[in-house]
Structure 1
Amino acid sequence: MHSTKQSTSFSESINRKVNDVIKPPITSSRRATTIGNIARGSSAVNNLSCNIRSVTTSAMMTSSASHPRFQIQRSPNEINTNISNGLPSVKPPREVTIRVKFIRLGEVITLQEKFFAEIVIEARWLYDRTAASWNPNLYVKNAIGDIKQEITSELVDTLDEPIYLDDSTHDVIYVWEIRKVVGTFWEKLELNSFPVDVQQLSLQIVTKCPTDECILVENRFQPSMVNREAFLAQQEWFLYEHIETRSTITTEDFSFRPIRQSTYLVTCYVARRPGYFYWNVYLLIFLITVIALTVYGVAPELPQSRLQITCTLLLTSIMFRWSVSRLLPPVSYLTLLDKYTLISLVFISLNSIWHSIIGYLIRTMNVSKSIDNYVLALFTIFFFLYHIIMAISLCQALHHRHLMLENDRKYASKLAGMFETFAQGHHAVQRFKDRQNSSSASLFL
């Protein structure tokens, strides 16, 4: 009997272990329980939200139905109006009119590409009582070093008469700012047609405000002007009367966020007086090149004498070219004067090479001396041919000055139309014609 009970208990223990193995693990049962609880919780939440939504909808419908304007249907235009009224209003940028006066122009330094000027910048904008201290903060971008500035401002009306804030009779009030600037300014010079070049002297007036706040425009009622009587470099340059203006937008990248700024460009024009270079450069190089042709008067049996003369002329031309190149900045292109001097150097060098060749041929091969005459004729034709080409190029460069004088005439007529009386305008045009006739000779010669 004892053995039977032991076997029964042993079999029961084995059955319990088997059942424990067949049962799912504790983690699975816990996960199933958790998922069931979440499902029951989410269904309860959904039922609760549906109940709340239904109650809220019914309450809104009840309150709207009880409202007296419930039956009024809203039009799409009314909806768009309400939407637009909700957006913030954007103010347009302020327009600042600019007028520039070149009071005095000083020396134009070609080698350093800069010029000295004394200018007056007149800025005008509408006065806003809500932003009385607003200012465009103008400055000249191409100024070099420290410049002197004097700034004054006042409130004026449409007739430029000064007014006061307590005067309520004026509906339109302007802020008139006068900025006097004295200093040196940088300008990139175009020297392709040197020494008959026409240069532009520009001022880049920039505001520190972004374009969505301020833009610079031209003053159409009072155009910019230049004082030709106070031009200090009249012996070297000819100053034109017309002024060109242009408004553009530049980007200031030297900040964390690039700012687009309004820029106002004012340009006056000067033409170099080429008379000095005609007599001291072109004429001397022409004489040196002509002397290279006279070397053929020496017998070809004496190449040492010919080479001595031509090498002396070649060294003289090289030294002369270096002295002229010191007047210009080291540009990467050739000017008209550079082309003429280089062709002259090549011409003298080719003559030197031929003198050494003809001496060798006569001494070793007994070549006839008549071939030297044919070569002389060939070099003479080449000499006159390249001089004609250079003269045509010079005339084409001078033609640009005729166009600039025509722009001066149009600008004088424009200014004459702004005078109050016909007599004042006629006098201004006649004064311009007299000055133009007296300065034509010095402009082209």
Structure 2
Amino acid sequence: MMSNPIRSDSYSESVKQNLDPLATTPIAKTRRSVTTDSINRTPTHNNVPTDLSSNQQRCQSQDCIIDMHLKKRSILPKVKLPREVSLRVKFIRLGEVNTLHENFYAEVVIEARWLYDPDVTAWNPNLYVKNALGDVKQEISSELVNNLDELVYADSNDNDIIYVWEIRKVSGTFWEKLELNSFPADVQQLSLQIVTRCSIEECILVENRLQPSMVNREAFLAQQEWFLYEHVETRSTITTEDFSFRPIRQSTYSVTCCVARRPGYFYWNVYLLIFLITLIALTVYGVSPEHPHSRLQITGTLLLTSIMFRWSVSRLLPPVSYLTLLDKYTLTSLVFISMNSIWHSIIGFLIRNMGISKMIDYYVLIVFTAIFIIYHFLTAFILYRALRSRQIMLESDRKYASKLAGMLETFAQRRNAVQHFNDRQTSSHTSLFV
């Protein structure tokens, strides 16, 4: 007889307590259940795994189903928000504004601030000025500060929020497209386009709302030619870098200060001289029409003088494809003198060959005098309308001064700031328009 295999005590105890699965469930029954499950398996929808569907069948309560959905949502990747870099720009010095080459010299301080991340301590927005010409000088320094701009250390145990404060001093020549339609009563915007090398998904540039940008009017080196306004305009936009290997969208921050040209030089050295030359063209009618050669000689000299004077003035401006206010005035004067010259040749021919009365020449003088007065009134009106835009800029200065005064702590400081601003505006109002 074959002897039964000897089993261990632990196994015997498990059989007695019905703990072993092989002892509690027959093998045939187990195979049958597996086969039946494979035959009666129903297709699942939305690619839900079988174990999840079985778990949902087991979970009869609403709380269990909600917990399962929360676990599935936690598996999805989280969207990382871009960093916000707040900027403040201070124009510490403005130099010459070159109208002919459309550029200006400036020394600015760019203050950038963003939240400090101990996991990525070396992160930097890599700011640069897009409209800089040539190589510009830069001095960069950075430090960690708290909400009160006090220095802190990265390993400090304070509960204050830590910021990275980067100070970038930039000096050089910057390009700016000048709008010369109202020259010499034009108002120009001098802008800096600050761009980050990071994409828009990683970094965006915003305005520092606690410390606004400002301009130092005392260090303006072109005060004899330009008037510098108090307010500073800012704007955040998105640009696309198309000339890179892979075009990316970048955040751009524009800071603009405004200057107005002092028109007094052009009043006395251009407008007045052209006015006198044109006025002399009317005095030629004092010469008898029987001597047209004398009239034509004087008018031709005035015409050549006006043309040479116009060429000397046009050297101050770039070769733009439109006419400025000064161009319109000088061209109108040239046409006026040319029309007088044509009439002098006509009246000399008619009197010598047809015996026409001299009264016609007198009536023509009245017509040309009326035209002279009318187009000078129109020129003065157009020039006045161009100067009206400076009143809008002065109003923007007042609002900006009130904004800065509102950030001061005491009432006395606010009152002194507003009074100081009013004194500056009163002293420079005459030079702005004359």
Please indicate the TM-score interval, normalised by the length of the shorter structure: 0.7 to 0.9
Aligned to 2:337: 348
Indicate whether 1:72 and 2:72 are aligned: no
| Change beyond 3 A, Cα 1:74–1:294 | farther
User: TM-score with structure 1 length normalisation?
Assistant: 0.85
Indicate whether 1:388 and 2:382 are aligned: no
Give the superposed CA RMSD: 2.0
Match 1:408 to one of 385, 397, 422? 397
Match 2:116 to one of 103, 116, 127? 127
Q: What CA deviation, in whole Å up to 9, does each residue of 1:8-52 have, x standing for no partner?
A: xxxxxxxxxxxxxxxxxxxxxxxxxxxxxxxxxxxxxxxxxxxx9
Q: Is the 8 A contact 1:242 1:407 kept in 2?
A: yes
Matches within 5 A, 1:345-384: 345-384=334-373
Match 1:207 to one of 193, 196, 207? 196
Q: Which amino acid aligns with 1:105?
A: L
Q: Is the 8 A contact 1:157 1:170 kept in 2?
A: no
| Change beyond 3 A, Cα 1:255–1:79 | farther
| Change beyond 3 A, Cα 1:316–1:138 | same
Match 1:252 to one of 224, 230, 241? 241
Q: Which amino acid aligns with 2:191?
A: S
| Change beyond 3 A, Cα 1:296–1:167 | same
Shift of 1:91: 1.0
Shift of 1:59: 9.3
Aligned to 1:110: 99
Q: Which runs of 5+ in 2 are unaligned?
A: 1-33, 44-49
| Change beyond 3 A, Cα 1:432–1:69 | closer
Indicate whether 1:218 and 2:207 are aligned: yes
Aligned to 1:22: none
Counterparts of 2:68 and 2:343, CA distance in 1:
95
Shift of 1:71: 2.6
Q: What CA deviation, in whole Å up to 9, does each residue of 1:38-69 have, x standing for no partner?
A: xxxxxxxxxxxxxx9966467999x97xx998
Counterparts of 2:80 and 2:157, CA distance in 1:
25
Q: Which amino acid aligns with 2:431?
A: S
Q: Which amino acid aligns with 2:263?
A: P
Q: Which has more helix, going by share of residues?
A: 1
Shift of 1:424: 0.9
Q: What CA deviation, in whole Å up to 9, does each residue of 1:91-133 have, x standing for no partner?
A: 1110000000000000000000000000000000000111111
Counterparts of 2:263 and 2:80, CA distance in 1:
54
Q: Which amino acid aligns with 2:210?
A: F
Q: Which amino acid aligns with 1:379?
A: F
State which structure, 1 or 2, has the greater radius of gyration over its C-alpha atoms.
Answer: 1
Matches within 5 A, 1:131-280: 131-280=120-269
SS of 2:161's equivalent in the other structure is coil
Q: Which runs of 5+ in 1 are unaligned?
A: 1-51
Aligned to 1:40: none
Aligned to 2:288: 299
SS of 1:90's equivalent in the other structure is coil
Q: Is the 8 A contact 2:118 2:154 kept in 1?
A: no
Shift of 1:165: 1.7
Aligned to 1:429: 418
Q: Is the 8 A contact 2:147 2:160 kept in 1?
A: no
Aligned to 2:17: none
Q: What CA deviation, in whole Å up to 9, does each residue of 1:338-370 have, x standing for no partner?
A: 000000000000000000000000011111110
SS of 1:216's equivalent in the other structure is strand
| Change beyond 3 A, Cα 1:166–1:297 | same
Q: Which amino acid aligns with 1:328?
A: L
Q: What CA deviation, in whole Å up to 9, does each residue of 1:195-253 have, x standing for no partner?
A: 01000000000000001110000000000000000000000000000000000000000
SS of 2:119's equivalent in the other structure is helix
Q: Which amino acid aligns with 1:177?
A: E
Tell me the percent identity.
72
Shift of 1:381: 0.3
Counterparts of 1:386 and 1:77, CA distance in 2:
83
Q: What CA deviation, in whole Å up to 9, does each residue of 1:262-297 have, x standing for no partner?
A: 000000000000000000000000000000000000
Shift of 1:87: 1.4
Range 412-421 or range 79-88, more displaced: 79-88
Q: Is the 8 A contact 1:200 1:270 kept in 2?
A: yes
Indicate whether 1:319 and 2:308 are aligned: yes
Q: Which amino acid aligns with 1:287?
A: L
Counterparts of 2:247 and 2:416, CA distance in 1:
50
SS of 1:437's equivalent in the other structure is helix
Shift of 1:420: 1.2
| Change beyond 3 A, Cα 1:404–1:366 | same
Q: Which amino acid aligns with 1:372?
A: D
Counterparts of 1:80 and 1:276, CA distance in 2:
77
Shift of 1:166: 2.0
| Change beyond 3 A, Cα 1:68–1:301 | closer
Aligned to 2:46: none
Matched residue count = 391
Q: Which amino acid aligns with 1:413?
A: S
SS of 1:415's equivalent in the other structure is helix
Q: Is the 8 A contact 2:195 2:252 kept in 1?
A: yes
Counterparts of 1:95 and 1:129, CA distance in 2:
16
Aligned to 1:32: none
Shift of 1:135: 0.4
SS of 1:289's equivalent in the other structure is helix
SS of 2:156's equivalent in the other structure is coil
